[in-house]
Amino acid sequence: MKKYEYILFDLDGTLVYSHPGIFAGIRHALREMGRDEGMATEETLRKCVGPSLVYSFTHFFGMNEEDAKQATAIYRAQYSKTGLYKSAPIEGAKEALKALKEKGYVLAMATSKPGVFAEKIAEYFDFAKYFTVLVGCGLDGSLPTKADVIEEVVRRLGAEKEKCLMVGDRKHDVEGAKIAGVDCVLLNVGYAEAGEADLCQPTYEWQDYDELLAKLG
C-alpha cells in the first residue's frame, strides 16, 4: 500500500452513528410537506444516511428538486433544534483519530452534512481538535456533492491528491473520492448495504478502526 500523508474522514456512519436525529428530521419534513410518512420505512431511511438531503428527497421520496429543497430547509430547521446531538461515536473512532495524529498524519473532515452542523458535532464529541480542516456542504447550496467537498478539503490543505486517503462508509464517499481523484477506504462500521463495496469498488475495504490503524500504522 502506498504512503499517505492526509486522511480525510466522513462523519455520518464513519465517526458517529447519527441516524436517530436524521430519521426524525426526515419524518418531520415529510409531515410538513404533506407527504405520506409511511414512505419513511427503516430500509428507506437507512439509504438517506450519506448522500445529500436533496438527493434523498428526490431519489427516495419522489420529490421534484424544488420540493426537495423546501423539505431540506424544513429538515434543517428541525435538526438544528433537536436532532443535532442525537448521535453516538462509533467504537474506536476517537482513539483512531488520536493515534493517527500522533503518527504524524494530517487529518481532515469531509462530510455532506452542512459544515455548521458538522463543526458542532465534532466539538461535542471532542473530535475537532484532531482536524486541521473541517469541510461540509453550505446551507447556501455551495459544495453540493461529496466530490466538491473533497476537492475543497484538498485545496484548503494544499495537499497532493495522490497523498490523500478518504475514509467513508457509503458508496457516495467512494464515488465522490473517485471523481475528485483521491483514493478511498470503505470502512464497514456504518450504513453500507450488503454488496455495496462490490458495486462501488473502493481502493480498499477495511472492517473497522483496528484494521485501519493496522494498515496505516
Q: How far out from the chain centre does Cα 18 lie?
A: 10
Nearest Cα to 73, choosing from 13, 134, 25, 10? 25
Query: What is the Cα–Cα distance from 155 to 95, expressed in whole angstroms?
Result: 27
Question: How many CB atoms within 10 Å of residue 205?
Answer: 18
Query: Which grid cell is 140?
Result: 447556501
Secondary structure class of 200 (helix, strand, coil): helix
Residue 76 identity (one-letter amino acid): R
Q: Do you know the residue count of the chain?
A: 217
Helix ranges (DSSP H) in 33-170 = 42-47, 53-61, 65-78, 93-102, 115-124, 146-157
How does DSSP classify residue 145?
Answer: S
Of 10, 12, 148, 169, the active-site residue reads 10
The residues pairing with 107 across neighbouring beta strands, listed in sequence order, are: 7
Let me know if 173 is a catalytic residue.
no
Element (H, E) at 7: strand 6-9
Enzyme catalytic residues: 10
